[in-house]
Amino acid sequence: MHTILMTISASIIALLGGAHLLLTFVGPKLRPRDEEVQRLMEHSSPIITRQTTMWKAWMGFNASHGIGALLFGCVYGYLAIVHSELLFASKALLIIGFLTLLGYLVLAVRYWFINPLVGISVSFACYAISIGLAWA
C-alpha cells in the first residue's frame, strides 16, 4: 500500500507540473487579465539586469517551475515503482521529497490558488502516509 500511495503522490505532482508547463506556453491561462500589465512587463527589466524583461522572466520562471515539479514527480514515481526498497530505505531521499512537498504546500497556501493547493495537499498526505506505512 505504501508504494501505491507514493506513486499517487508523485503522479499528482507530475500532473500539476506538466499542466503548468503546458499552460505556460499554450493558451492565455497564465497571462494577466489586464493586457496592459503584460505590455508593461514586456518593456520592463528587473533591477538585477537589463538583459531580459519581466515578461521573459515570468515565462522562464513558470516553465522552470513546471519542469521542476514534473521532474520531481517522475523521479519519485519511478523510484516508487521500480526501486521501492531503495526509496523507502533512504532517509535522505524521503527527507528531500518531504521538504520539497512541504515547500510546495507552503507556497500554495501563501501565493497560489485552490486547485494547486488541493492537489499538493493530497500529494503531501499520500507521501506522508506512505512513509508511515512503510516504517510501521
DSSP states of 16-82: HHHHHHHHHHSSSTTS-SSHHHHHHHHT---TT-SSS-HHHHHHHHHHHHHHHHHHHHHHHHHHHHH
Distance of CA 63 to the CA centre of its chain: 11
| Residue given cell 531580459 in the structure block | 52
pLDDT in tens, 52-79: 999 999 999 999 999 999 999 999 999 9
The answer to whether 14 and 76 are in contact (CB under 8 A) is no
Is pLDDT above 90 for 15?
Answer: yes
Is pLDDT above 90 for 22?
Answer: yes
- Looking at beta carbons, which pairs linking 106-111 to residues 24 or more positions away fall under 8 Å? none
Domain count, the chain: 1
Distance of CA 50 to the CA centre of its chain: 29
What is the C-alpha separation between 114 and 64, in angstroms, rounded? 21
pLDDT computed for residue 136 by the predictor: 86
What is the C-alpha separation between 8 and 14, in angstroms, rounded? 10
pLDDT computed for residue 59 by the predictor: 97
Q: Which range marks the domain in which residue 54 is found?
A: 2-135
The answer to whether 10 and 56 are in contact (CB under 8 A) is no
pLDDT computed for residue 82 by the predictor: 98
